[in-house]
Structure 1
Amino acid sequence: MMDGNALRSSERRGRPLRAVLGLAALGHDPAVCLFLDGVLVAAVEEERLNRQRRTEAFPHRAIAFVLAKGGIAFRDLDAIAYYWDDRGMLPAVVGRTLAHLPEHPGGMLRLLGDRLGSYWGPTVLRERLAAHCDGDFKALPPIHCIAHHEAHLAAAWLSAPFEPDAALILDGRGEYAATSVYRINPASGGRGSASLLEDYAFPNSLGVFFGALTQHLGYRALSDEYKVMGLASYGAPDAAMQQRMAQFLALYPDGRYRLSLRYLHPERCSGSPLSWLNAAGKALFPGRFQDENGLTDEARALAYATQERLEVAMTGLVRRLVQRTGARRLVLAGGVTMNACAIGRLRASGLVEQVYVPLAPADSGACIGAALALLRRDGAAQLSREGLDNPYQGPSYSEQQIEQVLQHARWSYRRAEDPAVEAARELAAGRIIGWFDGRMEFGERALGARSILGDPRDAATRDRINALVKRRESYRPFAPSILEEDAPEYFEITRSRRMSEIVRVKDVARERAPAVVHVDGTARPQTVPRDVPVASFRRLIEAFKELTGVPLVVNTSFNVRDEPIVCSPEDALRCYAASGLERLYIGPYVVSKGVET
């Protein structure tokens, strides 16, 4: 659907869309992508450019970057695909919100008022975008509003390395839906069709469930859920906690779920920093979660029960889907599918033969999905899956640009004969290094372009990085990046190129790479294939294997706590200076601490 800005038919008639901007904005995780002739050429999150973690700023910088990368001007765009459609979905928003009215009259009426206010979102969007054409609204390209779950669906379905026959979208909320279940009907030529089987309306949401308890534990909803996932491994089953959890999130034998609204402030459950749990909700989960020694056993028990409940709920939904459709090839998207433990458990369940989560499955990646949905709707015969699974879509910097920054900063640096081999030697000697090379990753994971690396053979590496570099909670694990052909020897996985799932480790990993093994005997690996775009990162791991016999390294994102992953050489130098990193490899250069004399 559109927001009233109709296609310029006199210019477009008979001509397919060539330049399409995908846009996620006016909410959390703003991001932008650009497609030219059906090919993804660039994608970036605004936070990487404005350096504000979890920014909600309009992505002006991101728009400027992708256009520059594509070599086009804003006025050259054929269309903008926006990842939200409040106006087109308004009848469903009103109807499904009012359906919850008997459960929580006051909260649902306040929620409805908030939803009706978002009707003006497209007008605000046009005002923000007009800044890119000197305020000339007539020069704006057509803006197409794509339903949020349709954008998530397209991102997963159209980028999958196989032909899926079902999709599950799980997030906090779209315009009204929080969970959507689809059957996908393949067809010749790859066109196919998707039909909605059922959905669950916000606030009956697994994202709200997990976010509310994340917040109750003292973290930030829509931001720190991954911390709860990591903490859960330190907990254990607790019968009383399980009973309380069942009151909050009911799970039925047929796979359905229902979140009890009697424990919530429904109007807050979509980004408010105020407590999502009401007084009854807080009383349902009493306890002291922090003391003078840090997190308590009660916190670990609540985290365990929260994670376990989510995993069982997701598995139940997939079992229900399989029973109804016989599906064997499943794609998933939405913020909830960032939960790598749940994805790993789903794959291990054997309910389906193939499982796929797309690049950046949360809201930032929906900018790609919105563009894909529009291109498919437009009948883009040239639409290609090539590159849609490639996370290296952000800015890159030339040798000259990097050296100019180094000279200006007066750092002690030199050109390395072979950065990958030198870095491998440093890791083998026990040093922790910063690694900056090629185009920045799009999405939450550092995958060898903007990474902090360490020696996996020493369990103390994990604590050193946590304490000296990342300055984050000591319980959180680090991921391994491993040569893909060696992955089955170390982990219960053959391919996981974007760290999208947590899997069991094998004995050889415990023995030879203890720094990447979590307390529960799991890891979140990145398998690095021979044709990975960051070729120097692959060569680094190969060199480390030659030196040590171990085909993997510790890999975590190049940033310190509460900052975005570094993007530019300046960002990398600031992070290097402010952290306990012992060396920085940036392009062809090696940087040491201290200034030139």
Structure 2
Amino acid sequence: MWGFPDRGYGTMNLLGVYIGLHDSNVALSVDGRVRYAKSERLTGIKHHRSALSFVREMCERWGVTRLDGIAFSDGDRNGLGACKLGELWKKVSPVAELGSAPTYCVDHHYAHILSTWPVADTAELELGFAIDGRGDNEARKTVIARPGARNPELVHHNATRSFGRLLERIGELMKLSATPGNESDLAGKVMGAQAYGEVDQDFVRSVDVEALGERLYDFTDKVPWRGRVPIETPDFFQFDNPSFRDWLSTVHALLAAHTQAHFARFARPDMAIAYAGGCAQNVVINQELFLRYPRLVVPPHGYDGGLSLGCLELLRIQLGLPRFSTEGFPYWQEDDCEDAPTESTIAQAVELLAQGKIVGWFQGRGEVGPRALGNRSIFMDPRQHDGKDRLNFRVKHRETWRPYGATVLLERTPEWFDLAEESRYMLRSVPTRPERQREIPAIVHQDGTCRVQTVGRDAPTSARRLVERFQQHTGLPMLLNTSLNAGGSPIFATRAQCRDFFAAVDMDALFMGNEVLVRQG
């Protein structure tokens, strides 16, 4: 196979590319070690769409002048080509702008599923599920058997609408704010609002969840709710409307049941399963899936921002190479990389946090994926009764109903949350133990849950040391954690972005490596 060795990488350079319609990203393996860049972090434009020039620029930055294999997923969105219906990958002619290396085209959903390789050995996966807004060939749902094999099997392809699109539509009807081109962010905002209503179980029982499919929009446009069709009811889609909140909770429960039914059609609870795609960012539905499928894996980059990693895995599989190194994952983003904070720096941060201060934390290298996991975070003491409101009003300026997550020491997690295993990537909304909820009000959502990130002793982030010191100081093994970014912007990638943010909002302190900015007064 083009003279590549059966074992070992030698001096091979492999490239995975996704420029798509948004969230462009590139991944490069140099001798089996992976580098990754997402263009939004480098441009400061959320969901940025780049061109092939971005790919070339990153290869130059990384000092790579020769490529031995290229894989891309494009769906012909940029004229690079696409896999036909039923094709998961194919060898194609080289893309002129990227050189003459052997080149593969990868199906969008297959690349999503393969992108789970940093958190699971794809050779051990029995099934892969992808659900998102639109894959190649109009796919919204795809199921693949043995996704890590050289000849995987396409089990299911479905072009009916995904639940993410319905949540996005509800966000539009609520008139939620979104930067033009970033309408996909609306689904996450709606996800937080669904916890404030009561599920109408009689309504749920009246719906055939397995047959929803193209009828998803009927909930807004056709199906009566308490005697009237929602879209025909004046001022219905308002968070202050109790009937709307109940409707939203009920519809979200139906979407969860629909997703469960979809998984149950193909998977047994004992199977090793990968789940990716934009809808895999819904932490409420994820929690229900994790409870039923204990061997389920979901990557922190399950949306389009992880597709280049899936393309890279396709090359590895087809060339018969060993697994890539996952050292340092998920802190792979190619941006400003800070030296590790000293104990003195951490002690200063802990002192401020214990005083109830809002602290920005820009350390190490940035995370892969849309969530801050301790290197590009804003931290706060979760015991603050007005913490969520202060953070919203002074810094984040977002919808009041949206919850904040928590970074928790792994070994102490079961004392506070109904969670007995790791949750490294903040992908589950787990119940807070009832007797503990009043102690940590800033992170407990309306339904008693919290989006949890556990950090073990081997976690490759300084956030572990920060929380350990905070525990020593206060007895509390966790911190409120939200992303270090402004509304409508990606997570920050440079010191300059952080400094501008600190100057524009009322954050108390900012730690960038061992440089500390503290607001006076």
Q: Distance in 2 between matches of 1:426 and 1:211?
A: 38
Q: Distance in 2 between matches of 1:167 and 1:423?
A: 42
Give 1 or 2 for the bigger CA radius of gyration. Answer: 1
1:44, distance to aligned residue in structure 2 (A): 2.5
Alignment of 1:398-477 (within 5 A): 398=338, 418-477=344-403
Aligned partner of 2:246 in structure 1 is: 301
Secondary structure at the counterpart of residue 542 of structure 1: helix
CA-based RMSD of the aligned residues comes to 3.4
Q: Distance in 2 between matches of 1:152 and 1:59?
A: 20
Q: Distance in 1 between matches of 2:432 and 2:56?
A: 41
Match of 2:209 among 235, 251, 268: 251
Q: Percent identity?
A: 27
Residue-by-residue CA offset, 1:127-146 (whole Å, 9 max, x unaligned): 8xx3xxxxxx7x45444211
Unaligned 5+ segments in structure 2 are none
Give the aligned length: 498
Aligned partner of 2:66 in structure 1 is: 76
Match of 2:37 among 44, 50, 68: 44
Equivalent pair of 2:166/2:216 in contact (CA under 8 Å): no
Q: Distance in 2 between matches of 1:551 and 1:394?
A: 30
Higher helix share: 1
Secondary structure at the counterpart of residue 144 of structure 2: strand
Q: Which amino acid aligns with 1:502?
A: S
Q: Which amino acid aligns with 1:72?
A: G
Aligned partner of 1:33 in structure 2 is: 27
Aligned partner of 2:512 in structure 1 is: 586
1:88, distance to aligned residue in structure 2 (A): 4.6
- TM-score w.r.t. the length of structure 1 is 0.75
Aligned partner of 1:228 in structure 2 is: 190
Equivalent pair of 1:450/1:565 in contact (CA under 8 Å): yes
Secondary structure at the counterpart of residue 116 of structure 2: helix
1:474, distance to aligned residue in structure 2 (A): 0.8
Alignment of 1:446-595 (within 5 A): 446-493=372-419, 494-534=421-461, 536-593=462-519
Of 25-34 and 540-549, deviating more is 25-34
Match of 1:369 among 287, 290, 310: 310
Of 496-505 and 147-156, deviating more is 147-156
1:158, distance to aligned residue in structure 2 (A): 6.6
Aligned partner of 2:277 in structure 1 is: 334
Q: Which amino acid aligns with 1:311?
A: A
Q: Distance in 1 between matches of 2:95 and 2:213?
A: 37
Aligned partner of 1:383 in structure 2 is: 323
| TM-aligned CA distance change 1:238 to 1:582, over 3 Å | same
Structure 1 position 160 matched with structure 2 position 120: yes
Unaligned 5+ segments in structure 1 are 1-8, 94-121, 131-136, 265-276, 403-414
Residue-by-residue CA offset, 1:382-430 (whole Å, 9 max, x unaligned): 333534853443323356xx9xxxxxxxxxxxx9761111111110011
Secondary structure at the counterpart of residue 135 of structure 2: coil
Q: Distance in 1 between matches of 2:338 and 2:163?
A: 44
Of 309-318 and 437-446, deviating more is 309-318
Q: Which amino acid aligns with 1:499?
A: M
Q: Distance in 2 between matches of 1:567 and 1:364?
A: 15
Q: Distance in 2 between matches of 1:418 and 1:288?
A: 58
1:32, distance to aligned residue in structure 2 (A): 1.6
Alignment of 1:113-262 (within 5 A): 126=95, 130=97, 139=99, 141-156=101-116, 159-160=119-120, 163-176=124-137, 177-184=139-146, 194-201=152-159, 203-219=160-176, 221-238=183-200, 246=207, 251-252=209-210, 257-260=212-215
Equivalent pair of 1:432/1:453 in contact (CA under 8 Å): yes
Equivalent pair of 1:499/1:526 in contact (CA under 8 Å): yes
Q: Distance in 2 between matches of 1:353 and 1:416?
A: 38
Equivalent pair of 1:509/1:517 in contact (CA under 8 Å): no
Equivalent pair of 1:437/1:450 in contact (CA under 8 Å): yes
Residue-by-residue CA offset, 1:70-111 (whole Å, 9 max, x unaligned): x423x3222332123444534569xxxxxxxxxxxxxxxxxx
Secondary structure at the counterpart of residue 440 of structure 1: coil
Q: Which amino acid aligns with 2:279?
A: V
Secondary structure at the counterpart of residue 36 of structure 2: strand
1:560, distance to aligned residue in structure 2 (A): 1.9
Aligned partner of 1:321 in structure 2 is: 266
Q: Distance in 2 between matches of 1:66 and 1:512?
A: 49
Q: Distance in 2 between matches of 1:374 and 1:34?
A: 11
| TM-aligned CA distance change 1:66 to 1:578, over 3 Å | farther
| TM-aligned CA distance change 1:59 to 1:431, over 3 Å | farther
Equivalent pair of 2:221/2:230 in contact (CA under 8 Å): no
| TM-aligned CA distance change 1:464 to 1:234, over 3 Å | same
Of 165-174 and 415-424, deviating more is 415-424
Secondary structure at the counterpart of residue 525 of structure 1: strand
| TM-aligned CA distance change 1:27 to 1:321, over 3 Å | same
Q: Distance in 1 between matches of 2:356 and 2:318?
A: 53
1:319, distance to aligned residue in structure 2 (A): 1.8
Q: Distance in 2 between matches of 1:474 and 1:338?
A: 20
| TM-aligned CA distance change 1:503 to 1:286, over 3 Å | farther
- TM-score w.r.t. the length of structure 2 is 0.86
Secondary structure at the counterpart of residue 481 of structure 1: strand
Q: Distance in 2 between matches of 1:467 and 1:294?
A: 18
Aligned partner of 1:109 in structure 2 is: none
Q: Distance in 2 between matches of 1:60 and 1:297?
A: 50
Q: Distance in 1 between matches of 2:47 and 2:100?
A: 28
1:333, distance to aligned residue in structure 2 (A): 0.7
